[in-house]
Amino acid sequence: MRKRIWTPFIVDLLLVLVISGHTSTAVAQAQGTFMPTDTMRNARYGHTATLLLNGKVFITGGVGSGSGNSTELYDPSSGRFTATANMTTIRFNPSATLLPDGRVLIAGGDKLGTAELYDPANGTFTATGNMVATQYWHTATLLNNGKVLIAGGGRDCPNQNDGCLIVERPELYDPSTATFTVTGDYADKSGDPWFETAGLVSAPATLLPNGKVLIAAEPTAELYDPGTGTFELTGQMTRGKMDRQPGWGIGGTATLLKNGKVLLAGGQIFETSYLLDAELYDPTTGKFTAVGSMLKARDGHTATLLSDGTVLIAGGQGWDTINGLCCYATGSRADAEVYDPLSGVFQSTSSMIGRRLWPAATLLTDGKVLMSGGWDRAGAVDTAELYVPSVLVPAPVVTNIQFDRTTVVAGTSYSVNVSVANITAQTFFDVRFIAPGSKTSDVVLNWQRGVTASHGVPAGIASGIWTINGVRPHQIETDHTGNFIPVSATITVSP
């Protein structure tokens, strides 16, 4: 990671908070439950479900009756779905990324190279720059600098189980210019004319605390460094120990845990080999280590980090043993389980009300999880349900913020006091900012600990207006899993 020459100053920036997350250590608890909620306006799978800044869930795209370009909103306060404006085009398996300003970037989809922006403020869609290549089954990762990394997409996927021609070069979307540009090439090339890169198609992508992106491309994963725009190989993965050609593994999940490690679970190898395997990636060592297996082999499932630090694994497809005989292909499944990072064990939890393959799971601000859509044996479903953990953690609420100044002279210091409900005195705050004269963001982790702190401004720091555009609260020092909440806060530095 690049050295931040202005890092000491970031503890001097003005902080205005609207906090929507809370963290705590995982503890043993009773099973959670699933409960029904409103029916979606359209049946769909292969769709996206994005938590907006107002707490509603924006759902778009997918396959199903009338779902291709339709969109809808789920309001947790009323438990109802309502239709909103249609996208400009039909999209199956696009990506949806919440941008720092609250808009949503919707990119790609089956044989599409277009993109558009959804603005929750007025409920409208507008076209934005075209992608460099047509692709779907790709990932879209919001980077600390505010750009979006598009990676792992296929440009010719006649059947997800039969592989794809991978898009040769990943690309970046820059919201400030509304353009897509190519970035560094992947590090691992298989040389296979069908799999032009090893295992990268549909490989899950995870933004790490250090700002790099883990691309879990079996069997050798890669790291993308936004500072250099390059990919490099990292540790060898352990899952799917059978001898196979790289590139066949799809449908697994990757979840950043509150301890900074990444949980990778499940997936599929070839057409019918579903995985029980799970492993952890440690960014500090660059290595993968196997952990306890899931209770059920599955792919096409969801993995959601809960407020208590555990991970809800739900749905998908896999093998079951029926009447003592192995193996029965479920087609889609309703069972769920929870991974506890403290014990390293997967434990059973209540099953979903319906079977769901390729559903969408969205953690709500109240700690519940919205499971929407998916595919059962009869096709796309329009049902949705809520997972309710046994303990719901209330979201922090800012009640007062006081600063002793808004302009500061280099070489001096100032103090800040933040009054926030539902947090402890040891809460950490990460901050995202823009330096004077810059158009891109940067991030400093653990910017402040506690609600009151004094911050020094080093001599020689760049003078001008420094702008905070995001803040993230967390209770555990290593936890950098929540989204940054956009803010509009500045402080002026005088020489």
Per-residue model confidence (pLDDT) at position 156: 55
Per-residue model confidence (pLDDT) at position 301: 95
pLDDT at 166 over 80: no
The bridge status of strand 179-182 relative to strand 205-207 is unpaired
Helix or strand (DSSP H, E) at 10: helix 7-10
Per-residue model confidence (pLDDT) at position 400: 58
Are the CB atoms for 419 and 444 separated by under 8 Å? no
Phi-psi region at 53: left, alpha or beta (left = phi > 0; alpha = psi -120 to 50): alpha
User: Domain map of the chain by residue range?
Assistant: 7-12+394-494, 33-388
* Tokens matching residue 9: 């100053």
Average pLDDT over the chain reads 83
pLDDT, one tens digit per residue, over 449-476 is: 888 888 899 998 999 999 888 888 888 9
Distances (CA, A) of 363 to 302, 427, 482, 489: 11, 21, 11, 27
The bridge status of strand 489-494 relative to strand 407-409 is parallel
Count of other CB atoms within 10 angstroms of residue 38: 15
**Fold type of domain 33-388:** Methylamine Dehydrogenase; Chain H (2.130.10)
pLDDT, one tens digit per residue, over 207-265 is: 999 999 999 987 778 999 999 999 999 988 886 444 444 444 578 899 999 999 999 99
pLDDT at 18 over 50: no
Are the CB atoms for 483 and 19 separated by under 8 Å? no
pLDDT at 389 over 50: yes
pLDDT at 357 over 60: yes
pLDDT at 399 over 70: no
On the question of a common fold for 7-12+394-494 and 33-388, the answer reads no
User: Rounded CA gap, 373 and 376, in Å?
Assistant: 9
Model's pTM, two decimal places?
Answer: 0.89
Residue 396's DSSP bridge partners are: none
Per-residue model confidence (pLDDT) at position 227: 95
Per-residue model confidence (pLDDT) at position 202: 76
Mean pLDDT of 418-438: 83
pLDDT, one tens digit per residue, over 70-80 is: 999 999 999 99
pLDDT, one tens digit per residue, over 187-210 is: 876 544 444 444 577 789 999 999
Hey, what CATH class is 7-12+394-494 in? Answer: mainly beta
For 377, counting Cβ atoms within 10 Å of its Cβ (0-12 exposed, 13-18 middle, 19+ buried), the class is exposed
